[in-house]
Amino acid sequence: MLSPTLFFLIGLIGLASLAKPTAAETALPNIVLIFADDMGYGDLGCYGHPTIRTPNLDRLAGQGMRMTSFYSAPGCVPARKQLLLGRYPGRVHTNGNTGVNGRGGLPDSEVTLAQALKGAGYSTAMLGKWHLGYREERFLPVNKGFDSWFGLPYSNDMIPPWVKTEVPLWLYEGTERVEHPVDQDTLTTRYTERAVKFLERDHDKPFFLYLAYNMPHMPVRTADRFRGTSRAGLYGDVIQTIDWSVGEVMKTLKRTGYDKNTLVIFTSDNGPWLNPPARMLQEGNLLWHAGSPGPLAGHKGTLLEGGVRVPCILRWPGRIGAGQASAEMAATLDLFATLVQAGGGSLPSHKIDGHDLRPFLFGDTNKSPRKVHYYFGSRMPGAVREGPWKLHADRRLFHLDIDPAERFDRAEEKPEIVAKLKAKLDGMKKEIAGK
């Protein structure tokens, strides 16, 4: 018969074992961040598209959380500032254009997501579109925290006849220019093949893979084997190529055993390019080579919901519950703070605008920490959302839970909400202006 003392000791051991976190809870996660270009809110099957088939992304959503009030920015460059710096674009000055004829780039004072994770011991890799400076080598991804980079320095349309320039578009490997003219038909599949090779390595430390597809930005292109496979035309073919790519990434994570402790995020930089300038509608580009904002109004380049609200899927087995859909508000801004802190890194000393989403993602609370979101189209915010209410700078007010298409202006009915949100918008403008 066991003595009372022995029973007590066994009980203590049992309690200690119950309190001890599992390996999955204590190990730093691998991170795969997939960023599409100009993909609309309604382009995926799991977000309601009637004819584009996206079984791999639909499966990813079923294994994690699908967010329906997730915000990026209305254009390529501000979206990438928000994602990789966790700061509203009005705070970040590149001292010039970062596209084909520009000389600007991220200043050394900014800390990228890759730099913060590398400082925490991560290996880092980037595949795809950069668009944050290229004219000087110090602006390239390999000098901004990424151990490697294979991709384009800016958007794939920045070549004749769509853009008047004599600067050739090069495909880069690190700091070396390796291909011109670029075979855009195979860009997506080549990025995916490189991603698979990276994931197949024998990693001795956690990794961060940033996979920033150039598609479905016009001119839309895809490999021969995907052309004509979608009921939604060439644009649908391009989306289904990206879906195949996500499937290849997920199969590789499972095959290599990394999937159980890898946080996978899929999202887009902005809404669909439904109003391309006349310069784009040549050489086979057509108006319908663009996506769908779903039930939302607006498109790329606007601060309407269709320009800035994008699909976002997050999967982390054992940490993020499967099969969830949430209308709680969050943004690309929040991914910086969330991923840096999940990776054991330190946030920069300067102000960031993101929140750590982990308590919300892990189910510790059913409320997102993001209560207010400012919509930046340029240096100054042009709209603000708090709770369900969104106020544009011209004082149109919409209740987004009831009216996500922004059809019914409620400003006359709710002057107190207009006044409250205008004060917030004015306050952010003063903060950005440094007053």
Distance, in Å, from the CA atom of 30 to the CA atom of 262, rounded to the nearest integer, reads 4
Task: Give residues with Cβ within 8 angstroms of 380, minimum separation 6.
Answer: 90, 429, 432, 433
**Is the sign of the CA dihedral 186, 187, 188, 192 positive or negative?**
positive
Tokens linked to 217: 């930005």
Q: Which residues are catalytic?
A: 76, 131
**Is the sign of the CA dihedral 209, 48, 74, 358 positive or negative?**
negative
Task: Give residues with Cβ within 8 angstroms of 302, minimum separation 6.
Answer: 74, 271, 308, 377
Q: Please give the torsion angle defined by the CA atoms of residues 30, 31, 32 and 33, in that order, rounded to the nearest 10 degrees.
A: 180
Distance, in Å, from the CA atom of 279 to the CA atom of 296, rounded to the nearest integer, reads 26
| β 149-151/123-128 pair status | parallel
Strands across the sheet containing 171-173: 176-179, 171-173, 149-151, 123-128, 207-212, 30-36, 262-268, 312-315, 65-71, 324-331
- Residue 246, Cβ neighbours under 10 Å: how many? 25
Measured in residues, the chain has a length of 435
Distance, in Å, from the CA atom of 273 to the CA atom of 39, rounded to the nearest integer, reads 9
